[in-house]
Amino acid sequence: MNRANETHAAAGRRRFKPYPAYKNSGVEWLGKIPVGWGIKRLKRVVQFRGGGTPTKDQAEYWRGDIPWVSPKDMKVSVVLDTEDKITAQAIRDSATKLVQAGAVLIVVRSGILVHSIPVALTGCEVTLNQDLKALIPHSELLPEYLVYLISGMQRELLVEWKKEGATVESLELELVANTPTPLPAIAEQRAIAAFLDRETARIDALVANKERLIELLREKRTALITRAVTKGRDPNVPMKDSGIEWLGEIPAHWEVVPVYARYEVALGKMLDAKRVTGESSGCYLRNVDVQWDAVNTAGLPDMDFAPWERGRYVLRPGDLLVCEGGEVGRTAIWRGDIEECFYQKAIHRVRPRSEKEAPRFFYYLMCTLAKRGVFVAGGNPNTIDHLTAVQLRHYRLPFAAPQEQRAIAAFLDRETAKIDGLVAKVRDAIDRLKELRTALISAAVTGKIDVREHAA
């Protein structure tokens, strides 16, 4: 258990009294358990059931009404439905089997297992793919208690269950089966589960409220930027029609001009891995390295840049980097973190034609264009595949005088930093609540706190 969880667990112990007496469980990750609790290996108290995938060649197999669960469906606490459904014939003809309601599902093979063990109850009859296992508890183990035990002890169980040397993240089923499982009396398991249902619901509600606050802060941030770069900061300034539908009115003294009038737009070099020689090489940025207002410079790949190409593709501090594809229009400013760096074809380098221009103002304009859906093709909810240099050059945008651009950019830097700071504090509070949730579950299912009188 990490320090934060230890702190929250200690807080939980102060709120809830411990059991009258404890005994050594003999299990390092479990520690002491209450006198009166038993321990059995998991395979003694559950039946394991696996799954499989009906062949995709038989389309009729996938036209049924029986939910077929895969790791992507394990984002809920109770599985009631899935996107994929199969027929009874598909079950008869494949390795998957029907699993009853009230079983506990865990993911045993998936990239998800790097950080957690997804666990859920079945709320109806389902079938599974081969990356999941169903744990069907015997009468002495309550499914809801088992779900809380696995979710509350994920850090410890990931260490215990991980398959060493596997090329894909997976759990060693023999280790899972032999897990020592704490067993209070069934009535006590029911009381623990009821207590955790109530307490985790309270924490989840707090988390949801804070996540909504983050959404509101983001909306405020977007509105602040949009207002500043399209209307200016003076609400009393005379306005004029921009002639652009998405833009509307702008300050009367501003200009609306195509990007090429103020900035040079150039696409990067196309990578040809077959022609890499290692001679005259240099590191270069890819689309993935350019995020909003951030550029990754760690572990950049190299490619050849002939002497006559280096001046054409080298970056200068103040250059704007605009993504051609992916999240179209995503933008950052190159600040010269590396002495010599180039860029690939998936990125547009947007360089001011005059030193008077304020690239930071253009950055905020790009934020507005992306948020306003300007790069969405013809109102289609799917963004265009890529933003060509010709398209970017000819977008007509509003520009204040350079001095006003810099003033607006400085204002937005200051005000968005305040909002970002608030968002960071709310995120930290969410993280603490989630740590508290895990620590509370862990303390209850292992008997570190006695919650029986709080279960009602």
The pLDDT tens digits of the residues spanning 244-271 come to 988 999 999 999 999 999 999 999 998 7
Check whether residue 74 and residue 168 sit in a common domain: yes
Q: Over the stretch 176-215, which tens digit does the pLDDT of each residue have?
A: 999 999 999 999 999 999 999 999 999 999 999 999 999 9
Q: Which band of pLDDT confidence, cut at 50, 70 and 90, is reported for residue 309?
A: confident
Q: Which band of pLDDT confidence, cut at 50, 70 and 90, is reported for residue 306?
A: confident
**347: domain range?**
233-399
Residue 194 in any domain: the answer is: no
pLDDT at 163 over 90: no
Q: 436: which DSSP letter?
A: H
Residue 334 in any domain: the answer is: yes
Residue 23 in any domain: the answer is: no
Check whether residue 169 and residue 291 sit in a common domain: no
Check whether residue 166 and residue 265 sit in a common domain: no
CA 378, CA 95: separation in Å to the nearest integer? 47
Structural domains in the chain (count): 2
Check whether residue 265 and residue 362 sit in a common domain: yes
Which of 215-219, 342-346, 417-421 is least confident? 342-346
Residue 261 in any domain: the answer is: yes
Q: What is the mean pLDDT of residues 47-75?
A: 94
Check whether residue 286 and residue 348 sit in a common domain: yes
Residue 201 in any domain: the answer is: no
For all residues of the chain together, what is the average pLDDT?
Answer: 91
Check whether residue 84 and residue 179 sit in a common domain: yes
Residue 378's pLDDT is 45
Check whether residue 385 and residue 261 sit in a common domain: yes
The sign of the dihedral angle between the CA atoms of 384, 387, 392, 398 is positive
Q: What is the mean pLDDT of residues 360-381?
A: 81
Residue 203 in any domain: the answer is: no
Q: What is the mean pLDDT of residues 147-169?
A: 86
Domain boundary among 167, 183, 199: 183
Domain boundary among 399, 423, 439: 399
Residue type, 298: A
Q: What is the mean pLDDT of residues 11-35?
A: 86
Residue type, 178: N
Check whether residue 265 and residue 375 sit in a common domain: yes
Q: Which band of pLDDT confidence, cut at 50, 70 and 90, is reported for residue 377?
A: low
Residue 5's pLDDT is 46
Q: What is the mean pLDDT of residues 297-304?
A: 91
pLDDT at 119 over 90: yes
Residue 94 in any domain: the answer is: yes
Q: Which band of pLDDT confidence, cut at 50, 70 and 90, is reported for residue 273?
A: low
Please tell me the chain's helix, strand, coil percentages from 3-state DSSP, rounded to the nearest 5. Answer: 40, 20, 40
Q: Which residue has the higher pLDDT, 430 or 276?
A: 430
Q: Which band of pLDDT confidence, cut at 50, 70 and 90, is reported for residue 307?
A: confident
Q: What is the mean pLDDT of residues 427-437?
A: 96
Q: Which residue has the higher pLDDT, 211 or 382?
A: 211
Is 267:389 a contact under the CB 8 Å cutoff? yes
Q: 163: which DSSP letter?
A: P
Q: 384: which DSSP letter?
A: P
CB within 8 Å of 211: residues ≥ 6 apart: 430
Check whether residue 107 and residue 237 sit in a common domain: no
Residue 271's pLDDT is 79
pLDDT at 383 over 80: no
Domain boundary among 376, 399, 422: 399
pLDDT at 27 over 90: yes
Residue 331 in any domain: the answer is: yes
CB half-sphere exposure, 175, CA atoms < 13 A: 13
CB-count burial class (<10 Å; 0-12, 13-18, 19+) for 151: buried
pLDDT at 9 over 80: no
Check whether residue 179 and residue 237 sit in a common domain: no
Q: What is the mean pLDDT of residues 72-76?
A: 93
Q: Which band of pLDDT confidence, cut at 50, 70 and 90, is reported for residue 165?
A: low
Is 181:149 a contact under the CB 8 Å cutoff? yes
Check whether residue 175 and residue 240 sit in a common domain: no
Of 352, 322, 353, 334, residue with least CA distance to 283: 334
CATH, residue 75: 3.90.220.20
Q: Which band of pLDDT confidence, cut at 50, 70 and 90, is reported for residue 390?
A: very high
Helix (H, G, I), strand (E, B) or coil at 370: helix
CA 4, CA 7: separation in Å to the nearest integer? 5
Check whether residue 251 and residue 389 sit in a common domain: yes
Is 369:396 a contact under the CB 8 Å cutoff? no
Q: Which band of pLDDT confidence, cut at 50, 70 and 90, is reported for residue 379?
A: very low
Distances (CA, A) of 173 to 73, 148, 151, 280: 21, 20, 17, 52
